[in-house]
Amino acid sequence: MTNKKAFIFDLDGVIVDTAKYHFIAWQKIASHLGIEFTPEHNEELKGVSRIRSLEIILGLGNIVASQEDKNYWLTQKNEDYLSYIENMNESEILPGVRAILEFIKEKNQLIALGSASKNARPILEKVKLLHFFDAIVDGNDVTNAKPDPEVFLRAAQLLNSTNENSIVFEDSVAGIQAANIANMLSIGIGETKTLHEAQFCFPSFLHIDTSFIDTIIKK
């Protein structure tokens, strides 16, 4: 077991804002199905897997679909989403993220990704952050979605770290719950009102001082 700290980052809403692309792609599907899908509905899809997102949208329209139809909509949605992320670049990294990643690396600590997205790797490549990560666990590697802690437990395991030495940065309620269940330090990125279950909460990484990270490292 390492005595280094393991910093586990969620992707969407923490490192990049891909929620806007998910929204446009899901809205197209919903509109084909005659379902009203608003930005408020989109909030419920944050941190949720692709299949579960479709099920939530179908539920909004009280639509019961066959597995074949679901597969068709899932493929359509992802192809559309991929066309939006195709042109992503470093300018889409959320404010303050790179500085924190650099600080953690400078301090010789460990970094992992813990995301529900099956498109996590290509996104990290496009925004040129892939090299910071010692381990990547994404939607291709887990069977249980957040709030199940599987994604974070796998990340800690890959980094050879204990749960108690792991820190999770998350923007979704389900993700914060997953970190708490795993007995990891949960840090919410977003509104305290929404992420009140987090042990710490900041509006963005710009509000996280390096001295705060340093205190965590020395704990």
Residue 10 interacts with Mg ion (CB under 5 A): yes or no: yes
Q: Residue 17 corresponds to which tokens in the numbers above? A: 């804002």
- Closest approach of Cβ 164 to Mg ion, in Å? 23
12: contact with Mg ion by CB under 5 A = yes
Q: Would you say 112 and 134 are in contact if contact means Cβ atoms under 8 Å apart?
A: yes
Structure token pair of residue 48: 């949720």
Question: How far is C-alpha 183 from the chain's CA centre?
Answer: 18
**Three-state SS at 153:** helix
Smallest CA-to-CA distance from 118 within 51, 44, 25, 27 is with 51
The verdict on 188 binding Mg ion (CB under 5 A) reads: no
122 lies in the site for ligand B16, by CB under 6 A:
no
Site pattern 78..117 for ligand B16 (x: CB under 6 A): x------------------------------------xxx
Which of Mg ion, ligand B16, none sits in contact with 22, Cβ below 5 to 8 A by type?
Answer: ligand B16
- Is it true that the peptide bond before 149 is cis, omega within 30 degrees of 0? no
What's the closest the beta carbon of residue 201 comes to Mg ion, in angstroms? Answer: 14
Asked if 134 touches Mg ion (CB under 5 A), the answer is no
Give the closest residue to 165 by CA, choosing from 146, 181, 184: 184
* Residue 186 interacts with ligand B16 (CB under 6 A): yes or no: no
**Cα–Cα dist 182/184, whole Å:** 5
- C-beta of 20: minimal distance to ligand B16 in Å? 11
> Is 138 designated active site?
no
Partner from Mg ion, ligand B16, none binding residue 45, C-beta < 5-8 Å depending on class: ligand B16
Site string for Mg ion, 35-74 (x = CB under 5 A): ------------x---------------------------
CA distance 97 to 88: 16
Which residues fall within 8 angstroms of residue 99, CB to CB, at 6 or more apart?
Answer: 205, 210
Closest CB to ligand B16 among 6 and 85? Answer: 85
Measured from the CB atom, the residue of 107 and 147 that comes closer to ligand B16 is 147
- Quick check: 10 binds ligand B16 (CB under 6 A)? yes
Q: Is 141 a catalytic residue?
A: no
Tokens at 61, concatenated: 């329209």
Sign of CA dihedral 118, 170, 112, 97: positive
From Mg ion, ligand B16, none, interface partner of 5 (C-beta below 5 to 8 A by class): none
Best CA proximity match to 105, nearest among 3, 219, 217? 217
- Residues marked as catalytic: 10, 12
Residues forming the site for ligand B16 (CB under 6 A): 10-13, 22, 45-50, 53, 78, 115-119, 139, 172
